Amino acid sequence: MKILVGVKRVVDYNVRIQVKPDGSGVATDGVKMSMNPFDEIAVEEALRIKEAGHAEEVIVTTIGPKACQEQLRTALAMGADRAIHVLTDEEIQPLTGARILKALADKESPKIVLLGKQAIDDDNNQTAQMLGALSHWPQATFASEVKIEGETATVTREVDAGLETISVNLPAVISADLRLNEPRYVKLPDIMKAKRKPMETVSIEDLGVEHAATVKVLKTAAPAKRQAGIKVESVTELVTALKEKGLI
């Protein structure tokens, strides 16, 4: 069984985001980039499924410019077997990304496509669901636990009301939530070994994928600064302050 894992290059979660002076987007020049944290969790889960004897190969893929190969090498250092880089300098939005992943799934025939539930740069939370719809595969999103038994995956999902456990037949699309696992630490010998692992580069045109209609971002702005809070001495003073602000 093969597992295909999608990863995305994003601004590192420890970096303080800065908006460009002209409001055209987020500044990325000289900024530390890393693998999307939810995608790292997805890679870790795929490796655990393989180590448990339920899969023979873990393939990682990303869509983006040449610099994205750094994140693929990280996934290979974690233990993935090979990588596929869909090379493009264009901005890829969720529907086009889902179409590309479907084309790769048609080519590789994995039993599971594992994705992070969302990327921390745009927070769209759409690609996994769109891929499931395009592929006509069952989907199990927001997974906090995954168990594989033969041709079935039992997935515990994090939903608004708590936890939900479902069973889906394979092949299926699964998206990883924060509490699914703790990704392993990558050691230097593994980083060196990753340089020798195969990485295939393809174009969107090679996959025969059409770009979906894009959403145009008109302007990007930083959130407004929060006003300092105030302390009150009593409930009466609190109610008075709320009334003055028109909140009650």
pLDDT of residue 236: 92
The runs of H, that is alpha helices, within 121-234 are 127-135, 188-194, 204-207
For residue range 219-229, list pLDDT tens digits in order. Answer: 888 888 888 88
% of the chain beyond a pLDDT of 70 = 100
Mean pLDDT of 154-167: 94
pLDDT exceeds cutoff 80 at 132? yes
For residue range 5-49, list pLDDT tens digits in order. Answer: 999 999 999 988 888 888 888 888 888 999 999 999 999 999 999
Q: Supply the angle between the helices 94-108 and 127-135 in degrees, to the nearest 10.
A: 50
The pLDDT-based confidence of 71 (bands split at 50, 70, 90) is very high
Residue 50 contacts by C-beta under 8 Å, 6 or more apart in sequence? 3, 56, 57, 58, 79
d(CA 21, CA 24): 8
State the greatest distance between any 2 C-alpha atoms of the chain, in Å, as a whole number: 70
pLDDT of residue 98: 96
Strands 9-11, 33-35: pairing kind: antiparallel
d(CA 79, CA 51): 10
pLDDT of residue 155: 97
Mean pLDDT of the chain: 93
pLDDT of residue 56: 96
pLDDT exceeds cutoff 80 at 213? no
pLDDT exceeds cutoff 90 at 197? yes
What does residue 139 show for φ and ψ, rounded to 5 degrees?
-130, 145
Six-digit token string for 31: 């900024």
pLDDT exceeds cutoff 90 at 202? yes
pLDDT of residue 27: 84
Structural domains of the chain ordered from first start: 2-221 (3.40.50.620)
